[in-house]
Structure 1
Amino acid sequence: MIPALLWSLMVFTSASAQRTINTSAQTLENSRIFQTEDISVEVSGKLALCSHSEKGTIILDVTGGVAPYTYRWNTLQTTKDRTNLFAGTYTVEITDAVGNVHTERIVVQPPYPLILEPLEKTDATCGSGNDGTAKISVKVGRGEPYQITWSNGLKDTWEAHNLAPGTYSVTVADKYNCDVTTSFEIKAASEGIQVSEAIQNLSCSGQKNGAINLSISGGQSPYTYIWNTGSTAQNLTNLAAGTYSVLIKDQTGCSFQASYSIQAATAIQLNETITPESCAGSSNGEIQVMLEGGSAPYTYKWSNGQTSAKLSNVTAGNYALTVTDALGCTIEKQFILGTASELELELVEKNDISCAGADTGSIHLKVAGNSGTYTTTWLDDSSAGLNRENLPAGTYQLIVADESGCTVSSSFTIAEAQPIQARIETALDVDCAVGTITGVAWVSIQGGVQPYQISWSSGETGSREINYNSSGNLKVSVTDAFGCNYQTEVRVDFPSQINKSGRLDFDYRKLEINSEPEVQIDEEIIFESVISEEFIGWEWSFGDGKASKEKDPIHIFEAAGNFEVTLTAYDIYGCSSVEKNIIQVNAPLEFITIPNAFTPNGDGLNDTFIPKFRAVSEFSMTIFNTWGEKIYSTTSQETTGWDGTHQGQASPPGNYLYQITYTSKDGEQFTKTGGVTLIR
């Protein structure tokens, strides 16, 4: 390294400036010696260049000698200060007013490199650690003193410690304020611990329901936790208000430390102003509550359902209030609301009408809680008192007022008695087996007040039901518990005997006439009844589980066998007569008849070739010409048959071959082949 002395400021003082100049002046009167101070110069400015593009400056501060001063530079300038100077040596002669001369030689240093050694650094152990270091030193420079400035605030130190991961810079300046800056990054050996927290403050005063829940990422799990409470859990619950600190470490020793505060809730305080009800039943009482503490907004729930801070338009009584703040904290309080005047009208007794249409109603009342005397006013009779008798059915309204001005009113309804209504109902009890009849009559009662007294015209009493055995008029009298009476009568008919002479018979036949006289399965059979007029209802049972209520039903037997068909008829008394017949149902035998010729001439006779068959479940027919070419085919049992055409053209007369395949009801398959003659 070049010695800094070579590049320091060089100021040379001439011999003339170093010696003391004495100036003697003599007068004729006496001889005195005057001595002045030496000229002294302070040099400042930019006396060293940091780069080739810079220019230097020289600023002189001259003292001593006798002002004013004159200046002469070796570059012939005569100004005191110099600017825009290149590097080099500048000499100035300073002469004061009495001729003293001082010579100053000043060197403006040429640019000299400031070079730093490569920065030495140690990365942090983890992303959340702060144990990184950095060290800087000068490789080439003009010498001490150096000014060092770190971007994290450190000054005039060659080493920085406790650095967290991140980007930093350091600036080094020499004694001429020429500087150089280098940047560097402190990295992390592993990802730092990242922590986010969810704080649950106390919801209600006095509770310990605070919580701190931590979410951890980064670092290398597992983590360990040390709280200032002594807990080693990740999360804390059931906390009181206060500050809680935690130290978190991962398995590499990387750590994270933080503190969290649990805030206390403010207790809810409730004050009230109660305005009593002015008069009993006036419903103008009020309770106004004022709240302090808790967390707004508040919700209010009164025991009568109101939901505001002011309970209004209520009667005297007990009321409960529950206030809930925004955090769900509650306070409950009971209130007693009184009445300024407790005027009350009490119903002692009320009697409704005993019998319909009578004036037997009554109202008996009592006044209590009045302030002073009171007055009563009935809307229908202003002269009536508290107790009223002989009232007809209706509604009666009373107003009572006391001396305080409070009034109470009430309505009383005298109900009309429900009139007694009675109805005689009759029925005939018939024994079909022996042919006997018994008449039964009973009375249905509505209204009135039980128990009832019942008296029949036939002499029976106390019974709602009697028997009769002849035609005529029946009367009944009903009296209820209040003596209210109702009478009714009815005409009854009584038959002399049960008519059992009615005729009942039936016959049956096939609905579609064919050559088979026997009843076959799947054939429609109509049953024709002969029923006398005395019968009003009938029912068929066909012996195969099926039944019908038609008079002449049509029935199909789906299986072969002997079936007992029963016809039952009923008369007006519910007595029945029965007629039965046995019907034999046969299963048809399959057959097929194939014609040997047909004449498709449109006369409606034998126009198509189709076999006649019975009891066949599946069928197919194919027609071939004499060369074996298929000219017609069908699988439908509903087909009308081959009409003697092929592809829309009439086939020539002659012989054709057929193949017919069918399956019997038993599942056996048959095939028939042969010839048929087409005649035109």
Structure 2
Amino acid sequence: MTGLPSGVYRAIATDGRVSTCDGNEFITRNVVISESTLSVSNFRVIENIPEVSEGTCKNYPEPSGTIDWLATTGGYSNDIFFSISSSVRRTTAYNGFNIELIGPDGSNVDLTGNSNLFGLPTQPSLERPGFTYRFRNLPSGEYTLTITENVTGTLIPCQEVFFFTVEEFLPIQYDGETVFETDVCTGAVDGGITASAIGGVPYIVNGIPTYEFQWTYTPTDPTAATQIFYGETVDPAYPGTYCLRIIDQNSHSYCSCDPAGANQVTIEVDDVVEPIATEGNLADPNNVGSLVKSLPPDCTGGGLNGKIGIQVTGGQLPRSINWYIEDPRYLNDPVSPGYRPLTEYDNRTSLDNLLPGNYKVIISSQSLTGCANTTNYTYYEEIIQVSPNRELYIMNGPFVDEDLCVGQQGRLTIDIFDNNDGNLSFYYNDILIPSSDVVRLSDRSWSVAIVNAVETADFRVVNEEGCWITTEVNRGIGEPNFEYTSPNYEASSLILAREEVTFKNTSTDPYVKSEWLFGDNSPPELVPTLVDSVITVRHTYGISGTYFATLRIYNDIECSEEITIPISVGKGYNIMVPNVFTPNKDLVNDYFRPLFSGFSNMTFTVYDFRGNVIYNEFKEEADINNIKGFSIDGWDGNFAPYSPYYIYTAKGLLLDGETEVERSGTFILIK
């Protein structure tokens, strides 16, 4: 039988007997007749990419646009693998296949060399269908693979034409923005800077191609350190230059700032407005060609001609400039705590005739930027120090004694640094003080007699080189006064023991500090004076009694005035007496006496155990209208007769002038 179409056939053979008889029937196996087929199967491409060392910046080569078959063996090529599937039915013996490959340049690829074909390429391949062929080191491009059955005679060969493409290795490139501008309110790029790249073999994360990004940030400020960032976005991004390394999954990378690489890119963040900055504007006398921001007073100005000179750059215009000098009396200033405003220098960049000290400049923008917070584009502050004259300056003082404070002749002490370390001349109220009235206490300290004291005078010091410095000596001081209260005192005019008492200084100016003595042998408390507020002082008295609280105020040359006010706590008096007496001259408990407060007078008596008087003492306030407090001297234990114990009585009249209080008890004497 010939000319049958494709299908599944079987034959049934029977003899001549009818089906009712015992005839025989034979059925053949299925016979499949199908069309002849020839195809390429299991085709795949393997990339040949050289390894890259850790940290090395190596990108893929730029495409040349031509095919160089000899250069492909060095990397960045592809190997292809495929098999041949065949269902050709021939009666003749199997003669293999002819394989032909046409490259991207339209020419036949030489498959006879070992560089491209691993197998038996020289003659028609006699490998059976299913054998895997490998063509090596193919450059990128479009290829045509033709497989032809090798037949003889008049047979028509089966043929398969297979087209495939070898992808090109594209270099990694940065294709994002390269110039950004900062926001005037934040000083950084709004939303940060985000990298964008193409080429290479990106990672696939959640179906999205991406790369590893590494940023190297060099700030515009040359004093700031370089920083490293990772990730697609840098936020916040501040002014400066950003070098970017883009890495793909083959460890190849593009480095935007690599001078040896191709397609260099500079990614910059520019300031819309430069930050406010200052530079010196005064010639440095010790370094020719240099400019400084301040100069100390010189020898011709008496320590009063210091200078500040600056140049201001940047900032959102227009600007205002305000100056302050350090002053502890202004600790609560809301604008610049601890600094006193110098309004006479507002909006100036040059300041003259300055005393040594710390000066603050505040530069601020007057424009309405709409920023929620201040930035270095709209606000700037700096401390500039005017140093003392290094040839001659006052280290400490001057301070005066009590006689000079009250207008009598007295002495003034002062610490002076003199670079010449020679003798000094002193002038008070423009009158030269005789050398006989000057005593050098140490290499820095001097004591000067003042015989013509006045309320206010200039005190001038001159060294042997004629350098001079002056300061003011002002005896003026305010009148001390204070108020006190407590929660219970507000309600009932009575202060309870162990209740916090609040003291308020109501003294008049001038004074620079105050000292509180609470009258209960607790340590004194020194408080600086503030111009714009009063520092609240608090104290707690542990037991009942009358305490003589003293407020002492000082001016800047240590003259002082004080006031003492009795404070009644609890029942207003107390008496405390020890029960052991040790008169052994160790300066501890050498005198037996009561400690008391709230009395206008006190009688103290000591008896032996038989009732004989051994010691008696009476003391009282010197002026009942000016209560200062007093104390008993006490018994020193001399001429003490033998007694197993001793008896004391303490009896006194309270400050009200009516109530008498008596306390008695026993004690022992130990020697």
TM-score tier by shorter-chain length is under 0.3
The structure whose residues are more often strand, as a share, is 1
Q: TM-score, normalised by structure 2?
A: 0.23
Q: Given the two structures, how large is their TM-score scaled by the length of structure 1?
A: 0.23
Work out which structure has the larger RCO, using CA pairs closer than 8 Å and 6 or more positions apart in sequence: 2
The higher radius of gyration belongs to 1
